[in-house]
Structure 1
């Protein structure tokens, strides 16, 4: 299963949700790959404890190679599989981001390389789950992810601006589905930073549900534990396995996969 976590609004928890769901998947014994398409590299840092300096070991190498066609060259291109990094966590692997990806975007778009990520990930069919983190903008990399994925999760952080962004995002996904990926399904809206005692978050979630949007039942609470786990480069299931927030991510994982405790 290839799952993309995407929202055009920044600061909604895409990287946190990506890494924690992937870490739970791996802890469940599933061979799990995380793909970091955000040039900020937060997911890469979260899972490796730092960023990779050499672009030749990252997705920058993969995308740059798609721009190079030499009929006389042999074995000069790195496959996506060759660029996969081990993480400190069993069963959890990473295709890392790099800042060099930013300068490649215009050339990748002009050369119509939008399907290359899907082609690469389809060849990695020995992974049980693939989670794709995206930049907070609808650009070449996020479009590539939506085309490559089978399911889409949308983080939502409970304010009026997020609701407006959600409507625009759903329109963009519908266009991607119509033009490039008819199998893409919006799996659900993940309500993040949910303050249960505040009226506005409750109201916004109720309104979205009433409008027929696929709001998932699990709510993710705000907690300093998230920042602590970031600083320690340990997803919550490893950093604070018994914490309430960790259990919320477990519940989200179970809801997505139709399992119970």
Structure 2
């Protein structure tokens, strides 16, 4: 049975899709089968993984409306020089998804639609990573009811904690009312600049104010990491020697080790 992560933060521009793309690719590179589900209407994870949104037959939009099965929507990702990468798949998104909340307004149990659609294929993967939209809407709630835990990217900028309390409150409500197994896996610092006092101060402030697990790996500001999406490649394939690639590889290993420690304490 897959471990399902929702990558969520209602604040935009925090590296959410960047983390979804690169973390999933680095976990797949470790030999695990991975499915990325892009549930953000902007479709940044979709394009960041090299999929042209205007050429798709089906997307998560059709899946949510029940117009196709999730199996009909899965794209198998393959990259040159990484043909040996174990199963690395994507359920893509496009702008049509922005209308789904209105179209599902009278749907019963609409908070559980993604969970139900995912059930038939859940056993085929080791990890499923859901890229959420930058808002606390029905799509994000669906991701949270489906997930085992939440990864929260936080940008090392002045307004890092803005809106975070509301996100944590929403996660707590979902845990209490919709998904009792949901918890916060941890906080990931992104866009870290070791040369600035501000980045160091943000890290200290978050550690002081959040009673959550904080990953030791921090993701730096990195030119190659910023360039990779324009080529439709995860950074570990675009430039495996870059600091961005090294950081996401390190984060992938930390998360895998943490999961083993959580569920198999004697084996981590």
Deviations 1:37-56 (A, max 9, x none): 011111111113421444x5
Moved over 3 A (4+): none
Matched, 1:104 2:100: yes
Shift of residue 134 of structure 1? 1.0
Deviations 1:74-119 (A, max 9, x none): xxx5211121011224421110102222222123243132101112
8 Å CA contact 2:225, 2:245 repeated in 1:
no
Number of residue-to-residue matches in the alignment? 247
In the alignment, the residues of structure 2 paired with residue 233 and residue 198 of structure 1 have an alpha-carbon distance, to the nearest angstrom, of 30
2:117 corresponds to which residue?
120
Shift of residue 9 of structure 1? 0.3
Matched residue of 1:135: which SS? coil
- For structure 2, the 5+ residue unaligned runs are 80-84, 259-268
1:73 corresponds to which residue?
none
Deviations 1:137-195 (A, max 9, x none): 01111110011000110010023422122122111111111111111110111100011
In the alignment, the residues of structure 1 paired with residue 228 and residue 114 of structure 2 have an alpha-carbon distance, to the nearest angstrom, of 29
2:219 corresponds to which residue?
220
1:148 corresponds to which residue?
146
* Segment of structure 1 superposing worse, 216-225 or 199-208: 199-208
- For structure 1, the 5+ residue unaligned runs are 66-76
Matched residue of 1:162: which SS? coil
Shift of residue 202 of structure 1? 1.5
* Segment of structure 1 superposing worse, 33-42 or 84-93: 84-93
* Segment of structure 1 superposing worse, 101-110 or 240-249: 101-110
8 Å CA contact 2:64, 2:117 repeated in 1:
no
In the alignment, the residues of structure 2 paired with residue 201 and residue 110 of structure 1 have an alpha-carbon distance, to the nearest angstrom, of 45
Matched residue of 1:2: which SS? strand
8 Å CA contact 1:48, 1:88 repeated in 2:
no
TM-score normalised to structure 2 length? 0.87
RMSD of aligned alpha carbons: 1.6
